[in-house]
A and B are shown apart, each in its own frame.
Chain A
């Protein structure tokens, strides 16, 4: 049974930004109209190349495989709707780098066609391997924002974890996708949790949810009838929903730096992911849509929508009644960790949990940065207990070794430091840049070490060959002139030296006797 008195532990720092959640929670989850075109990104984890399973001009059915990774670790991508593939091309997608990614462009059929689902599974009797295989076949990845393939995370967790944590904290302002999901689909989420327990063999599942979501908590409690599930209500504070901070809040454990939660026996998944798992296993549905929050003061009808992956953002904005006059900037994700979008001609991806269309008033542009006055407010709010202002100095002066010694790599980029900085310094930007520089430096060092190693091996080989060659030469020489008298050899050598010395002396004498012409002697 879910108990109200589950212990909750503290984590350091944190901030209390205005929540701005209510306006997107007024109505139920809406289903958007079928957009005329879908841009389905086939991006793979890491920098792996996707293998395409279709080509331009081909007609695809809903649920048909579009692309997969080059090995079993990759992520399957399915057609979210039936239609004709008009092109397969690089297209801008919501990402921090602003670099285009390969997208399959589908001109959707006006009439919705059959969904080619997988066979439903009875998960209570299914072997863990089979369930993980199904999750891979449904193309499920972390829907909270990470986008890491779920089956890969589960593979590592098989028989390794004792606690599954369901992340329903949703601490970031504006975003309500998980809250809406729990209000309306708590049964699916709970089923997803039970499947995760079945797969991992863990003995408990802690559902962490912030205390500002009473309706979602009630819905969860209603469905949590299994004794292994516990709804744990945590105080609303940003970033309580960051993986390591949530684990610390629920279990009191700190995940050691550089290791993964699974090494501490904990597996953490997002509520949306749990629902996708339930749908994939129980109904055989591939991950073709997700719940996304549409919000911001520039929208007349904010709310949560069940949206097909690949739906263009501008289509969504039109559906939500965007006021183009008021619209100043667009964000994907929340205001603290989200990315600013350059324009609305971008598709929704599997990780797009929120689109914010703001006005200048709602999220104003940052004022110019001022000097750091070392006030230390940043250190007070850092959930990892770093010293942000020291890291800032190190990053600014490119003292990368010091930045590493001050644990820059433990920064989770939650943005709490920059949120409170009275000098408006874009601290996180400095850290990202320094982290990239450190990665570069490490890569360069590795290449240099590799080159040095190769050079040394090369030198050894050359020396060896040289030695062998000279040995062979002396052997050949010994064979060719077997009987040269040793004394005669010496005499001739001495003669040559004597002749050379005589030549040098003659030359010197000639120089000394020559008149010094053309040189002006100082008076």
Chain B
């Protein structure tokens, strides 16, 4: 017999761990990330690598300062997931210092100042994104023109120069511009939707050029997470449904005042990564079944409102953060009926 303290039941375990959940999330990011790299080039990879490295560094540093065990926390991969999701949200032209500031806000302020994994009320990746979006609007709204638009993507050398300091690169304006969602909003009132779609080099088949495929990639990843039961269907379904319903209500059949078709919104911007990867962050989401539906619907609605009536390039980050605020209240009011109790 092995010596050791007696444990109380249950003695068996399914065998899942936080690390495995996080690994599945990382794996599920692959198709979307591949599409993002294809359409926007090396900059995405620079973001990914630098954010992961600095996320681990900041995580270790804060844990050391907080006198908590460092290795088990790094082992759970949650910092890497935060870094990856944030890296995929940053523009591929982001310079190195922007990356560091963003991940600092995400890991140190968004996560550890609130007590670390499990205690943070706000999605850390979105805290980091919102902080740099508000502080550095110029760098944050300057996206590359996607592969297949008028110009070619910058080469590796140019991408390195952009990452080192974008301002130094001659002719950077030739590569950069607004995102499809942004330019769509800006043209409002000027021309019919169909005219804009034909004229703009940024638009693809149903949504932004490239973005539609990136969203398909993240949709596949999300379906994988559903299949593996890493996430439940409630939040993504509610986000997408609410977004589609409001887009349909205000679609305006393609006049110049239209805010875009449901298809454009579903496959535009950060919709799919937001619905399947960001809104489903369990720590900051509602946890009851009905609560998840409400929470998802609230985020879907907010994404639409911010995209259609706001002035930011996309609405996912702020929608998720606002949803995070509401999550505890939603949980309180959507408690399931305990078996054996009247409602």
A contact set with B: CB distance below 8 Å? 11-12, 15, 17, 96, 98, 173, 244, 248, 254-258, 324, 327-331, 333, 335-340, 342-344, 360, 363, 365-368, 370-377, 379-380, 383-387, 389-390, 406-407, 410, 413, 415-416, 418-420, 422-424, 426, 428-429, 432
Cross-chain pairs A/B with CB under 8 angstroms, 17 sampled: A17-B12, A327-B1, A328-B2, A329-B1, A330-B1, A331-B11, A337-B9, A339-B9, A363-B11, A365-B7, A376-B282, A390-B287, A390-B331, A407-B338, A420-B14, A422-B21, A428-B10
Closest CB-CB distance, A464 to chain B, in whole Å? 47
- Closest residue of chain A to B20 (Cβ to Cβ) is A422
Closest CB-CB distance, A174 to chain B, in whole Å? 9
| Interchain CA distance A432-B9 in the complex, whole Å | 11
- Report A-chain residues with C-beta under 8 Å of the C-beta of B118: 371-374, 423
| Interchain CA distance A366-B338 in the complex, whole Å | 29
B17 within 8 A of A: yes
- Closest residue of chain B to A11 (Cβ to Cβ) is B339
| Interchain CA distance A481-B92 in the complex, whole Å | 110
| Interchain CA distance A146-B331 in the complex, whole Å | 35
Known: A374-B282, A380-B232. A338 touches B341 (CB 8 A): no
| Interchain CA distance A406-B335 in the complex, whole Å | 9
B4 within 8 A of A: yes
Tell me the residues in window 1-44 of chain B with beta carbons closer than 8 Å to chain A beta carbons: 1-2, 4, 6-14, 16-18, 20-21
Query: Does A410 contact B11, Cβ atoms closer than 8 Å?
Result: no
Query: Does A337 contact B10, Cβ atoms closer than 8 Å?
Result: yes
Query: Does A385 contact B10, Cβ atoms closer than 8 Å?
Result: no
Task: Please provide the 7 A-B residue pairs with the shortest distance between their CB atoms, ordered closest to farther.
Answer: A415-B10, A371-B118, A257-B340, A335-B12, A375-B282, A336-B10, A376-B287
Query: Does B232 contact A373, Cβ atoms closer than 8 Å?
Result: no
B176 within 8 A of A: no
Known: A419-B10, A419-B12, A422-B17. A373 touches B283 (CB 8 A): yes
Query: Does A387 contact B336, Cβ atoms closer than 8 Å?
Result: yes
Query: Does B338 contact A373, Cβ atoms closer than 8 Å?
Result: no
Query: Does A338 contact B9, Cβ atoms closer than 8 Å?
Result: yes
B177 within 8 A of A: no
| Interchain CA distance A130-B328 in the complex, whole Å | 58
B119 within 8 A of A: yes
Known: A370-B72, A373-B283. A342 touches B6 (CB 8 A): yes
Closest CB-CB distance, A374 to chain B, in whole Å? 5
B76 within 8 A of A: yes
B contact set with A: CB distance below 8 Å? 1-2, 4, 6-14, 16-18, 20-21, 72, 76, 78, 116-119, 232, 282-283, 285, 287-289, 331, 335-341
| Interchain CA distance A258-B339 in the complex, whole Å | 11
- Report B-chain residues with C-beta under 8 Å of the C-beta of A428: 8-10
- Closest residue of chain B to A173 (Cβ to Cβ) is B12
| Interchain CA distance A355-B10 in the complex, whole Å | 15
Query: Does A385 contact B18, Cβ atoms closer than 8 Å?
Result: no
- Report B-chain residues with C-beta under 8 Å of the C-beta of A418: 10, 13
Query: Does B21 contact A375, Cβ atoms closer than 8 Å?
Result: yes
| Interchain CA distance A244-B6 in the complex, whole Å | 29
Query: Does B7 contact A366, Cβ atoms closer than 8 Å?
Result: yes
Interface centre among B13, B118, B282, B288 (most CB of A within 10 A): B13
Query: Does A340 contact B11, Cβ atoms closer than 8 Å?
Result: yes
Known: A329-B2, A373-B283, A422-B20. A244 touches B7 (CB 8 A): no
Closest CB-CB distance, B215 to chain A, in whole Å? 25
Query: Does A373 contact B117, Cβ atoms closer than 8 Å?
Result: yes
Known: A368-B72, A373-B117, A373-B282. A336 touches B12 (CB 8 A): yes
Partner of A423, one of B4, B18, B119: B18
Query: Does B10 contact A376, Cβ atoms closer than 8 Å?
Result: no
- Report B-chain residues with C-beta under 8 Å of the C-beta of A416: 10
| Interchain CA distance A383-B339 in the complex, whole Å | 8
Query: Does A384 contact B338, Cβ atoms closer than 8 Å?
Result: yes
- Report A-chain residues with C-beta under 8 Å of the C-beta of B16: 377, 420, 422
| Interchain CA distance A386-B340 in the complex, whole Å | 11
- Report A-chain residues with C-beta under 8 Å of the C-beta of B335: 387, 406
- Report A-chain residues with C-beta under 8 Å of the C-beta of B117: 370-371, 373
| Interchain CA distance A95-B2 in the complex, whole Å | 20
- Report B-chain residues with C-beta under 8 Å of the C-beta of A413: 9
Closest CB-CB distance, B326 to chain A, in whole Å? 15
Query: Does B338 contact A371, Cβ atoms closer than 8 Å?
Result: no
Query: Does A424 contact B282, Cβ atoms closer than 8 Å?
Result: no
- Report A-chain residues with C-beta under 8 Å of the C-beta of B288: 376, 379, 387
Query: Does A426 contact B7, Cβ atoms closer than 8 Å?
Result: yes
Partner of A376, one of B8, B9, B232, B337: B232
| Interchain CA distance A411-B13 in the complex, whole Å | 19
Besides the contacts A376-B287, A410-B339, A428-B10, what 8 more A-B pairs have beta carbons closer than 8 Å? A96-B8, A173-B12, A258-B340, A363-B11, A379-B289, A385-B337, A419-B13, A423-B118
Partner of A424, one of B17, B116, B338: B17
